[in-house]
Amino acid sequence: MSLKLGVIGTGAIGQDHIRRCMQTLSGARVSAVNDINPDSAAGAVEKYAPAARIVVDPHQLIASDEVDAVLVTSWGPSHEEFVLGAIRVGKYVFCEKPLATTAEGCRRIVEAEMKHGKRLVQVGFMRPYDTGYRALKAVLDSGRIGDPLMLHCAHRNPRVGKNYSTDMAITDTLIHELDVLRWLLNDDYVSAQVVFPRHSPKALPHLRDPQIVLLETAKGTRIDVEIFVNCQYGYDIQCEVVGELGIAKLPEPSAVLLRSQAARSEAILTDWKERFIAAYDVELQDFIGGVCEGRLRGPSSWSGYAAAVAADACVAAQGTGAVVPIKLPAQPGFYA
């Protein structure tokens, strides 16, 4: 039997997930779509899911008998409403990051899910599914470089649109590191500070770009993350862990080493869709499998909440330059 998916939001990642559900993954098909922009919904259906129905009201889509589970791929500020809507009718929901744009919003989702009594939500944090991050974690867990002391990370996008704001560098971009580094280190954050280097003239005046986020964990590990979303040259994700006994670095995506015109070169990817293509495939296949088995295994609402608690502190730190404490409540047994 094929799981019927309803997709809310048919922009960049919505279309990419519709494509992978219809063309790459097994066990599911897209049966209904919604977007506040009807042309976008029509375009996605025509291109990837000709048999899917366009439903104008997102809450009708969530409640529809034609939908077994929901994918929320609309803009971040709308996620909470749709995830709560799915929990209300007891349907499984895969929600792209961020789960909600504030910790308070994520907390409401956690509470609704716990009240329902069973996990229904998977958050679209795909990096724990990436083979590079998994290999890096295996090295750390093996103890080969001893305890991690420092991490140097970078999250670089070639450019962003005019609606991208300074806080989105945290809530939309850094949120990936806030999730994956917590998982990688098996540790929680205790403080954050944000400092701003010289403004890049390639960034629009309203956007402070680049930024450097400094995090400290409960075990005392120090992390610096450069966020540079107008770096021009490519989509570049870096993570280097300095341990007591050695250094472990996130592998680069594989590329041909070219010798040509008196130079050695390797191409750098320019798009997150390609950089994490395999990870997106595996995370969504895992969601489909989890729904079919009645037991989700992927990143939970609690992971979404934990990342958002740290994100709130980083956004506050952007405004003051001060070191802002991060206090994550104890994880409920429900999410163990």
Strand partners, 7: 33, 71
Chain residue whose CB lies nearest ligand NAI? 11
Annotate each residue in 146-185 with x if it binds ligand ISE (CB under 6 A) or - if it does not, as one string: -----------x--------------xx--x---------
| Residues 104, 282 contacting (CB under 8 angstroms) | no
Q: Which residue has the tokens 């998916």?
A: 5
Q: Which of the choices ligand ISE, ligand NAI, none does residue 298 contact, using the CB cut-off of 5 to 8 A by kind?
A: none
Q: For residues 264-323, which are near ligand NAI according to CB under 6 A?
A: 272
Does position 272 interact with ligand ISE (CB under 6 A)? The reply is yes
Nearer to ligand NAI, 49 or 248 (CB): 49
> Beta strand pairing status for 92-96 and 53-54?
unpaired
| Residues 281, 20 contacting (CB under 8 angstroms) | yes
- Characterize 129-166 residue by residue with b for buried, 16 or more Cβ atoms within 10 angstroms of its Cβ, and e for exposed: bbebbeebbeebeeeebeebeebbbbbbbbebeeebeb
Strand partners, 195: 212
> Beta strand pairing status for 189-195 and 148-156?
unpaired
Of 35-43, 189-197, 239-247, 257-265, the window that binds ligand NAI (rule: CB under 6 A) is 35-43
Peptide bond into 210 cis (omega under 30): yes
| Residues 156, 229 contacting (CB under 8 angstroms) | yes
Q: For residues 159-198, which are near ligand NAI according to CB under 6 A?
A: 172
Interface pick for ligand NAI out of 58, 158, 253, 304 (rule CB under 6 A): 58
Q: Which of the choices ligand ISE, ligand NAI, none does residue 73 contact, using the CB cut-off of 5 to 8 A by kind?
A: ligand NAI
Q: Coil, strand, or helix at residue 160?
A: coil
Does position 234 interact with ligand ISE (CB under 6 A)? The reply is no
Smallest gap from Cβ 254 to ligand ISE, in A, equals 19
Nearer to ligand ISE, 108 or 176 (CB): 176
Which one, of 335, 305, 319, lies nearest residue 83 by Cα? 305
Smallest gap from Cβ 9 to ligand NAI, in A, equals 3
- Characterize 167-197 residue by residue with b for buried, 16 or more Cβ atoms within 10 angstroms of its Cβ, and e for exposed: ebbbbbbbbbbbbbbbbbbebbbbbbbbeee
Interface pick for ligand NAI out of 4, 19, 29, 40 (rule CB under 6 A): 40
Chain residue whose CB lies nearest ligand ISE? 173
Of 6-14, 102-110, 216-224, 254-262, the window that binds ligand NAI (rule: CB under 6 A) is 6-14
* Residues in contact with ligand ISE by the rule CB under 6 A: 157, 172-173, 176, 229, 272
* Residues in contact with ligand NAI by the rule CB under 6 A: 8-14, 34-37, 40, 58, 73-76, 78, 96-97, 124, 126, 172, 272
